[in-house]
Amino acid sequence: MDIFSFTAHFGTEEDCRIHFKAQRDEIGVVCKCGHKEHFWIKSIWSYECKKCRSRTSLKSGTIMQNSNLSFLIWYKIMFLMSVTKKGFSSKEIQKQLGLKRYEPVWAMVHKLRKAMGTRDERYTLEGMIEFDEGYFTVESSEIEQEKGVRGRGAAGKQNVAVMAESTPLENIETGEKSKSCRYFKAKVLETHLSLEINETIKESIDNQSIVFTDKSTSYVDISDFVELHITEKSDKETTNETLKWVHITISNAKRNLLGNYHKIKRKYLQLYLNEFVYKLNRRYFGDKLFERLIIANITAV
């Protein structure tokens, strides 16, 4: 969807409200009493439960709840966040929309990133999985800089578990082998311990999967949680072949985040990764990505 198509469909506040209501109706509204049947009161844009008569506003129960900004502003922000795979900084979105205050835009964008992550958490990877860690640049505190630690605990670096659901392909005629990749996950890790790696595997990967990693000591227990765990010595061949897609993803994510957002605070890194992975997993959706983001908005709470 380009800017002209978006403006044609969502040029007014009412256009956005009508569209959002249609999306909510399709998903269904559940009252706090648990009842699912409602009357619609158009004069106040609210649902009324047929059982307990309590009312639910159009924004209630979505990430837009308690927001005073219009549906039109929310729709414009969702459009900007879905129109390009590279993304926009909150400052740039504020500039493009001509809004006076930065803080509400920053909060809205992070709410949407959280919704993206919540949506992707519903799914687990399966089949053949590449697993490795990448070290992302984050804004370091003065205390971290004073410590001057190198390697895994280095100041300004944060380790992230990255997973890629790869599928081996072989040309029957030529015997040429290649890999395609379907879905990805990325999770910021708090430690370098195997315990946290184990929890990440259990949460993110189906237990019937085959997982490929290097020989890191943090990965020693992975075989307890999947069908098969295959390890290879970390070298150039492993990076280019066995763990090809996971390293391409790490490289692209680093370039994307550093190019668009420059300095990211450690505590917000997961939110930025949520957006990157959400759009990566839906890279073939085209115009439908905008609609999917609206659905994520409704179902994230």
**Where do the H-state alpha helices sit in the chain?**
3-9, 13-27, 71-83, 90-97, 103-120, 142-147, 194-204, 236-237, 244-261, 269-281, 288-299
Please determine, for residue 268, whether its predicted confidence score (pLDDT) is greater than 70.
yes
Give percent of the chain above pLDDT 70.
92
pLDDT of residue 2: 82
Residue 165: strand pairing partners: 129
Q: Token pair for residue 240?
A: 């280019």
C-alpha span between 108 and 167 (Å, rounded): 36
pLDDT digits (tens, 9 = 90+) for 40-67: 999 999 999 999 999 999 999 999 998 9
Q: Name which of 19-33, 161-175, 249-263 the model is least confident about.
A: 161-175
Say which residues have a Cβ less than 8 Å from residue 181's Cβ, sequence separation at least 6: 164, 165, 166, 167, 245
Residues in the chain: 301
pLDDT digits (tens, 9 = 90+) for 77-116: 999 999 888 888 999 999 999 999 999 999 999 999 999 9
Read off the pLDDT band of 143 (50, 70, 90). Answer: very low
C-alpha span between 71 and 65 (Å, rounded): 11
Q: Which one-letter DSSP state was computed for residue 32? A: T
CB 279: neighbour CB atoms within 10 A? 21
pLDDT of residue 150: 52
Contact between 215 and 230 (Cβ < 8 Å): no
Sign of CA dihedral 217, 220, 222, 228: positive
Helix 90-97 × helix 103-120 angle, to 10°? 120
Catalogue all structural domains in the chain, each as residue range(s) with its CATH number: 3-121+292-299 (no CATH), 128-282 (3.30.420.10)
pLDDT of residue 177: 67
**What amino acid is encoded at 267 in this protein?**
K
Residue 68 has φ and ψ, to the nearest 5°, of -90, -10
Give the chain's count of helices (H) and strands (E): 11, 8
Return the ∠ at Cα 160 (arms to 157 and 164), rounded to 5°.
Answer: 145
